[in-house]
Chains A and B, each alone.
Chain A
C-alpha cells in the first residue's frame, strides 16, 4: 500500500505572532508539524505498519521546512518530497495544484492523509481541492478510520457531537481531526534514521505549473489581548450577584 501524507510547516501554536508590514509576520519563531497533520502521519504509519507499503510525505514550504520534514520522517514515514517556495502563504487552490502534480509525478497512492486544517491560514479546504483535482472522494474532520475490502470507512464529527459514518472507495483523501489516534513520540533511533531518509527537494518553478492565486492576503492585523479582568471581590453570594447584574444590565449578554 502506498500512502501520501500532506504535511505543512507552521508556527508553534504557543508562539507569539508579530505582524510585520502589511501582510507578513516575524518568522524567527519556532516552526513545527501542523498539529492536525500529526494525526495524519500517525494514521498512515499505523496503516502501512499493518498492511505493508510506504508512507510518502509531501510538503510545500520554504526551504527551512526541511527541519519539520525530518521530524515528520521520524514518525514512521519512509521518504518525503519537499516543494520549495519563498512564500509562507500560498492559497489553497495553488497548494492543492502543487500537491496534485507532485503526487501524479511520483505515482498514484491508495490513500492520501492530510490534517483537516493548517493552524496558520486555517483555510480548511486544501484537501478538498486536492481530491477534486485527482477526482477521488474526500472526507474531512475524521476521528476514526479503517480499511476493509478496498473500502475506507471513517467517522466524521458533525455538529452537536453527532458523527457521520462514511464509506469511500479507494483511492481517497482522509483529512484528520483530533481524536483519530494518539500520535507517537519519536525515539532517538527513529530521529537518527530519519536523517538518512530520502527527501526529494523540488523548486516550485521547476514543476511547470501555472498558479491562479485567486485569494490574496491583503492585510494581517494583530489582535490585542484583553487588558485584564475586573476582579469582583467580596463574599461569594455578593460576588455572583454583582456579576449577574453586570452581565444582565451592563453587558446585556444574558436575559
Chain B
C-alpha cells in the first residue's frame, strides 16, 4: 500500500469539488491517502474529505511564515510534510495553483512531474496526458524517487470511498524568503464558476457580436449551473475577457457538456475543449467545420436557438 499525498484546494474554507476526482485517482486500488491542507480549516473539511477516502488530513503551517503569500515556502512546507509522513506520491489539481506548487516541489526535490494528466497509474508510475494540444495522448513513465502528478479537472470521475479522516497538525520549519512575495490578489468581476473546473460550458464565437450579447450565453449557462467561455475571435474583438478564452492560447477545459455557439471549430479551439464528454454546436452555417467533429448540432441562428434552449431547460 502506497502512501499518497493529495494537495487539496479550497475556496473560503470549502474543499473545491474538483478535488474529488484527484482523491479518486489517489485512491487507486486502496492506497493510503493523506490530504495536505494549507490555509484552511481542517476540521471543517473532515467530513467531505473522509467521504472520498482520506485517512489523514495534514493541516500544514509554516512556523510563522505566510505560506499563501510565499509559494516557495509553501512548497518547502509540503516537502517537509512528504518527508515526515513518508508519502512518495504527491497529486494535485492541474489548476494554476496546483501546477505552480507542484512545479516548485518537483524542481526543489529534483524529481519528475507530469501536469495536465488525464489518468495516473501509481503502481507503475505512469501517466497519460495530452501532447500537441490534445491531438495525441502520451504515456509517460517517471523514474524518480517521488511521483508527482497534476490531474486535469473533471478527468477522473469522482467515486466515494468512505473513510474516517483524522486531523493532524503539522508545523514545518521553513525559515523566510523574500525573493518572491504575493502582494495582492485581484478579484475578477466575471466568472462565478471557474472555467477549467466547470461541468457545463456555453461558449460564444464571433456572431455574438458584442459584450452585451454574451448575456444570452450566461442565462443559458446559469440554467445548467455552468460557466461561459469564448472563442479567440470573440476575445480579440473585445466581446469577452481573455480569462474566459477557451483554446490553444486560452483555457483548457474538460466539462461534461460543451455548447459551442457560433464557433466555427478551429484546430486551436478544439485544443482547449476536445476532451469534453459531449460537444454540441449551434451555428447558422450548416457547413461550419465544427459539425464534422462534435456530437450534436443544431443549424440555426444563435439568437433564436440559445434563448429557446434556456427556456427549455427551465421547464
Contacts and interface: CB of A to CB of B under 8 A. Distances in A.
A4 B179 CA distance: 19
Interface in B151-167: none
A225 B96 CA distance: 28
Interface in B105-147: 106-108, 110-116, 126, 129-144
Q: Which of A16, A133, A167, A229 has the most CB of B within 10 A?
A: A229
Contact of B200 (A166, A168, A253): A253
Interface string B167-204: 00000000000111111111111111111110110000
A105 interface: no
Q: Which of B131, B248, B295 has the most CB of A within 10 A?
A: B131
A138 to B, nearest CB: 7
Contacts of B103: 124-125, 128-129, 140
Interface in B237-256: 241-245, 248-250, 256
Interface in A154-173: 155-169, 172
A226 B180 contact: no
B97 interface: yes
B59 interface: no
A217 interface: yes
Nearest to B224: A254
A216 B141 contact: yes
B132 A119 contact: yes
Contact of B139 (A141, A169, A218): A218
A159 B142 contact: no
Contact of A128 (B107, B224, B278, B294): B107
Interface in B210-255: 224, 241-245, 248-250
Given A120-B131, A236-B300, A159 B194 contact: yes
A157 B243 contact: yes
Contacts of B178: 169
B286 to A, nearest CB: 8
A240 B298 contact: yes
A19 B72 CA distance: 38
B296 A229 contact: yes
Contacts of A11: 132
Contacts of A246: 296
A225 B141 contact: no
A1 interface: no
Nearest to A244: B312
A178 B249 contact: yes
A14 B290 CA distance: 15
Nearest to B188: A161
Interface in B31-76: 72
A179 B241 CA distance: 10
B291 A231 contact: yes
B271 interface: yes
B248 A119 contact: yes
Contacts of A96: 107
A137 B180 CA distance: 6
Contacts of A160: 188, 191-195
B264 interface: no
Contact of A215 (B97, B114, B181): B114
B277 interface: yes
Contacts of A132: 104, 107-108
Contacts of B140: 215-218
Contact of B248 (A13, A217, A230, A233): A13
Given A91-B112, A120-B131, A159-B197, A217 B308 contact: no
Given A161-B244, A225-B292, A241-B312, A167 B181 contact: yes
A169 B132 contact: no
Given A179-B242, A240-B312, A251 B185 contact: no
B308 A125 contact: no
B131 A122 contact: yes
Interface string A219-254: 111110110111111001101110110110001011
A169 B179 contact: yes
B300 A239 contact: yes
Given A217-B140, A246-B296, 18 more contacts: A35-B248, A121-B131, A122-B129, A125-B106, A125-B107, A153-B183, A156-B96, A160-B194, A164-B186, A169-B178, A219-B138, A220-B139, A228-B292, A231-B297, A237-B312, A240-B309, A243-B296, A251-B295
Interface of B: 72, 95-97, 99-100, 103-104, 106-108, 110-116, 126, 129-144, 178-197, 199-200, 224, 241-245, 248-250, 256-257, 266-268, 271, 274, 277-281, 286, 290-300, 304-305, 308-309, 311-313
**Top 6 closest A-B pairs, CB basis?**
A161-B188, A229-B297, A132-B107, A161-B243, A128-B103, A137-B180
13 contacts: A92-B113, A119-B132, A119-B133, A124-B116, A157-B96, A158-B185, A214-B142, A214-B143, A219-B139, A223-B134, A243-B298, A243-B309, A244-B312
